[in-house]
Structure 1
């Protein structure tokens, strides 16, 4: 029989093959990962809710099926607790919703279930996803498995830690300004933030909103590609949703990679710049690498404005009616958009359009654009926000995310990969950016970097 430990070391694709071939049962896979959660999560706090009974029932259905239900048949996964799961508590990281049990799955969850995935539970997130440290009044902080004194990053920190620590091989996340990419960088895992609309959100109140997307975290590129494949596809109620096909033309032998440490406008720590320089020097072994950046002048102010307007629109009523029950971080985020005018919003959209076109122009001479996946390394959980970098004060608590939210602003897909590091070095990742619809090319390059340059996950030393 396969040991619990070896099961938890398998990737999602490897585990799916094992279950389909009969080498391991769905129940064995579920029990092994539940045991891992029981062993580690009191210390790491990756999960808000664990559904052991529901997962075992789903495993029994998989094991009784005459043939695999789908590509993720019998594979344990986790869902970020910002996303609805039918019959399973969904708190959005808030005490206001501690007893909330949705009647229906979000579409991304429904598609994962139809593919045969087994949901073990809901991963931790800051309240409504607002916060640099993955903590809330229900659970947390979610601790970095490489150093539990440090943050796992927000806001998909629970999913990143669950994957890094082997509690699940694959986890769902969401990304507004960097919420799958920052935790991936901090926890040495891979992530995908696809083109907005690639994974539909038919219940999104603002149908044309392209700032936030669903995404995934895993220990390897193949798992990200598989997860995206089963969740992609159009939906009639999502006006920006895309079909499942993407640009799958092979990449050239030596792709052209532009690189930028800061998009010309972001504040980035000196230590991060040094690690990034080593990464692009390694990339030069497999690609033609040149320094280049789109014109991102005004991008930080533009994202601040659009983000603030969206948050005020979504949560303004909650602030008016239940302010005393909200955390200071959530209150600040909602109030930031309270006094914006229509002209402010439209001016931001105008600048956003110019930045998008500058990205497009860069890709006429490059196949990919590479940037750091975080501007800083993980910091202590007791420090709520990044207020300065290398002694330089930041204007707002979200500005440390500029290296990721600039990409959110223009809606280009991003693959995050960990880069090699020394035994005592903290995890660090890079963003690999491609034009919209070219996720397949991102995955192809990601496999090259994993196999030839060892841009791959290293397990943390856990008890």
Structure 2
């Protein structure tokens, strides 16, 4: 790829949109550059399961024609994006990382995808995920494992690993993901990009079977906070068929956050930090070291940091029960019918919910309510809670799951995600930023949590930290050699 195209792909989504608007760049050129980088890197990284080159180029030409003729344009007009391969996008198979769905072609877009398209975004393809978005390693029987761009032998994180790698390496400026227990934040931390999980309901999902469920949500992966806000501004908003979305105003992630003025105002930001939420989980020593250094810097930038945390007693057990019950309700029939064609990790995850009683489920909901109220009380004293975004460093792609941390055995294969899934449990908005590090060092992520309703403020804080070193770095593989194509790719 020539230097001019590399220069294009190293720009932010906001910068690219400015160039498109001013006529200094065409959507066709931008899409061609993205496709060239995907062609160069995807064989080694396996970020995409399917790439629709033909459809993307046709859409880019249509965007350019619309711009030339002076028609009304959307906020992302002509910008290439990627969608995680669990969300429907018409024209590209939704495999959900399973050979059982290898040729499943959706008849309608997921609402968030429809909103992206309506804003003029061009979906280049579907990014890799473990089967049905369950698993520590972003691999499946169609594609993978998705390699970490900082070390190809290591994991990109699950389950939005493909989206994180696509953004981190400049294949696309923006990518959609989903997050149940940390599936946006973990890959963002492992790969060194921004991962935003909004409060559930912010991005309406009117086609899901359980509209009242508020554990999982969609999210955004980007290379900087401003771009994450830009994508959220398009994807967010309520829908009458999604009851969880009814309480959210439509401008929760308004682009008004784009100003970079200090958030301190007339008083210091009240910041709390915790490494393990009072021993709710264990962390690896490199995480402990990096997190302590990050908190020290945050204290310099935002004001004194109190080492305090909300009480999360029984929260881990409650999340496991609720997650397992939902997983069994969704996938139990599939596991019973097709277990021999499914990964061991996926089967294990789903069967955890087999036999959970109504009493156990409701007890878990009671606990969840208690923890939520403790978080609300905690945030009456603090504005921001700082946590690690992962409990471990990126691990080998040959490793199946995480079974121990610093000599402490994990009871289940999701224990290492407690630093993120406890935030999922209470539904508070959170964003993962890369911690400052020396060039060439593996990324480590820090998680910033705010009270629901303070999303714009959270993004302003995140931008302030980003300007002080909590930011994306380019991995060495962005100029890597071309390797074999994915046999399941569609288009030219």
- Give yes or no for the alignment of 1:158 onto 2:173: no
> Contact 1:69 / 1:114 at 8 angstroms: preserved in 2?
no
- Give yes or no for the alignment of 1:266 onto 2:272: no
Q: Which residue of structure 1 aligns with residue 142 of structure 2?
A: 138
Q: Match of 2:196, SS?
A: strand
- Check 1:68–1:21 CA distance in 2 against 1; reply closer, same or farther (3 A cut): farther
For 1:246 and 1:59, how far apart are their aligned partners in 2? 30
The CA deviation at 1:251 is 3.5
User: What is the 5 A alignment of 1:225-236?
Assistant: 225-236=229-240
For 2:342 and 2:249, how far apart are their aligned partners in 1? 38
> Contact 1:62 / 1:68 at 8 angstroms: preserved in 2?
no
Residue deviations 1:31-64, cap 9 Å, x none?
0000000011100000000000010011011100
2:269 to 246, 255, 277: 255
Q: Which residue of structure 2 aligns with residue 176 of structure 1?
A: 180
**TM-score, scaled to structure 2:** 0.92
Q: Match of 2:243, SS?
A: coil
The CA deviation at 1:67 is 4.1
**TM-score, scaled to structure 1:** 0.98
The CA deviation at 1:454 is 1.0
Q: Which residue of structure 1 aligns with residue 297 of structure 2?
A: 282
User: What is the 5 A alignment of 1:181-192?
Assistant: 181-192=185-196
The CA deviation at 1:327 is 1.0
Q: Which residue of structure 2 aligns with residue 26 of structure 1?
A: 27
2:402 to 374, 382, 386: 386
Q: Which residue of structure 1 aligns with residue 108 of structure 2?
A: 104
Structure 2: runs of 5 or more not aligned: 481-492
Q: Match of 2:75, SS?
A: coil
For 2:375 and 2:271, how far apart are their aligned partners in 1? 13
The CA deviation at 1:17 is 1.1
For 1:119 and 1:68, how far apart are their aligned partners in 2? 20
Q: Which residue of structure 1 aligns with residue 431 of structure 2?
A: 415
Structure number with the bigger relative contact order (C-alpha 8 A, sep ≥ 6) is 2
Q: Which residue of structure 2 aligns with residue 91 of structure 1?
A: 95
Q: Match of 1:148, SS?
A: strand
> Contact 2:233 / 2:251 at 8 angstroms: preserved in 1?
no
For 1:317 and 1:432, how far apart are their aligned partners in 2? 38
> Contact 2:150 / 2:440 at 8 angstroms: preserved in 1?
no
Q: Which residue of structure 2 aligns with residue 50 of structure 1?
A: 51
2:226 to 209, 222, 228: 222
For 1:108 and 1:437, how far apart are their aligned partners in 2? 21
For 1:360 and 1:179, how far apart are their aligned partners in 2? 24
CA RMSD in angstroms, aligned pairs only: 1.4
1:197 to 172, 185, 201: 201
Q: Match of 1:284, SS?
A: helix
Q: Which residue of structure 1 aligns with residue 337 of structure 2?
A: 321
User: What is the 5 A alignment of 1:58-69?
Assistant: 58-65=59-66, 66-67=70-71, 69=73
> Contact 1:2 / 1:24 at 8 angstroms: preserved in 2?
no
For 1:361 and 1:274, how far apart are their aligned partners in 2? 29
Residue deviations 1:17-40, cap 9 Å, x none?
111111100000000000000011
Q: Match of 1:15, SS?
A: helix
- Check 1:417–1:117 CA distance in 2 against 1; reply closer, same or farther (3 A cut): same
For 1:197 and 1:385, how far apart are their aligned partners in 2? 30
Q: Which residue of structure 2 aligns with residue 355 of structure 1?
A: 371
- Check 1:10–1:202 CA distance in 2 against 1; reply closer, same or farther (3 A cut): same
Residue deviations 1:139-176, cap 9 Å, x none?
00000000000000000000000011110011000000
Q: Which residue of structure 1 aligns with residue 486 of structure 2?
A: none
The CA deviation at 1:424 is 4.0
The CA deviation at 1:2 is 8.4
The CA deviation at 1:246 is 2.8
For 2:282 and 2:437, how far apart are their aligned partners in 1? 22
Q: Which residue of structure 2 aligns with residue 6 of structure 1?
A: 7
